[in-house]
C-alpha cells in the first residue's frame, strides 16, 4: 500500500550501550501506537570479566623509573561500537528515505557517540531528543513519555478583570 503524500513516517529509536529498539509510530503524537520494527542487543559483561591482566608498565626517563599505562575499558569500548552500529543503521535507512522524522530516546552516556556517528541526513530528521535510560521500559510507558514530550506547553494566563 502506497503512503499518501501527507503521511509522515515517524521512527523512535530507544537505546543505551547494549540494547536498541526501533519503533514506528502508527498513531499520532497525542495517541501514539508504537510498533516494534527492530531489536538489537549485545551481551556486554562488566570490564572486570573481560580483562585477564593488570595494566602494563613502561619505562620513564630516569634510572629505574616506571609508570603504569592507562587501562583499556573493554566494556566501554563495546558500548561505543554498539552505539556506532545503531547510528550507522539509521544512516542507511535515512539514505533510503525509510522515515521522515526520528525521535531519540537515548541514554545520556551514549548520546555523544551516537551523535558523532550520524550522517547529516539523519540529524536533519531528528524531531526530538529525550535523554534518559528508557530501553527497559514497557512500550506503554514509552508511548506515555512520547505523548508528554510532544504535548503543547500549557499556557498560564490570567483573565483580565477576573
pLDDT in tens, 79-102: 999 999 999 999 999 999 999 999
Query: What is the radius of gyration, based on Cα positions, of the chain?
Result: 22
How many angstroms separate the Cα of 32 from the Cα of each of 40, 112, 145, 149, 162? Answer: 22, 27, 10, 12, 37
Provide the pLDDT for residue 162.
54
Indicate the helix (H) or strand (E) that contains 39: strand 34-41
19-51 pLDDT per residue, tens:
999 999 999 989 999 999 999 998 765 545 545
The pLDDT value recorded for residue 144 is 96
- Per residue in 104-141, pLDDT tens? 999 999 999 999 999 999 999 999 999 999 999 999 99
Q: What crossing angle do the helices spanning 74-95 and 108-116 adopt, rounded to 10°?
A: 50
Nine cell digits for residue 162: 477576573
CATH code 3.55.40.10 for 10-42+71-150: no
pLDDT of residue 12: 98
What residue ranges do the domains of the chain occupy?
10-42+71-150
Q: With a threshold of 0.95, does the pTM exceed it?
A: no
Using alpha carbons, list the distances in angstroms from residue 36 to 1, 5, 15, 40, 142: 19, 23, 13, 11, 12
The 8-class DSSP code of residue 72 comes to P
Amino acid at each position: 500500500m502506497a503512503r499518501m503524500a501527507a503521511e509522515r513516517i515517524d521512527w523512535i529509536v530507544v537505546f543505551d550501550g547494549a540494547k536498541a529498539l526501533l519503533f514506528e509510530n502508527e498513531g499520532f503524537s497525542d495517541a501514539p501506537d508504537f510498533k516494534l520494527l527492530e531489536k538489537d542487543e549485545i551481551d556486554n559483561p562488566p570490564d572486570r570479566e573481560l580483562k585477564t591482566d593488570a595494566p602494563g608498565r613502561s619505562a620513564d626517563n630516569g634510572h629505574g623509573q616506571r609508570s603504569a599505562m592507562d587501562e583499556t575499558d573493554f566494556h566501554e569500548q563495546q558500548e561505543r561500537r554498539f552505539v556506532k552500529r545503531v547510528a550507522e543503521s539509521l544512516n542507511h535507512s535515512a539514505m533510503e528515505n525509510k522515515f521522515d522524522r526520528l525521535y531519540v530516546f537515548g541514554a545520556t552516556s551514549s548520546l555523544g557517540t551516537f551523535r558523532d556517528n550520524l550522517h547529516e541526513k539523519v540529524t536533519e530528521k531528528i524531531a526530538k531528543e529525550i535523554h534518559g535510560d528508557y530501553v527497559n521500559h514497557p512500550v506503554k510507558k514509552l508511548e506515555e513519555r512520547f505523548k508528554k514530550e510532544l504535548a503543547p506547553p500549557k499556557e498560564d494566563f490570567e483573565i483580565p478583570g477576573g
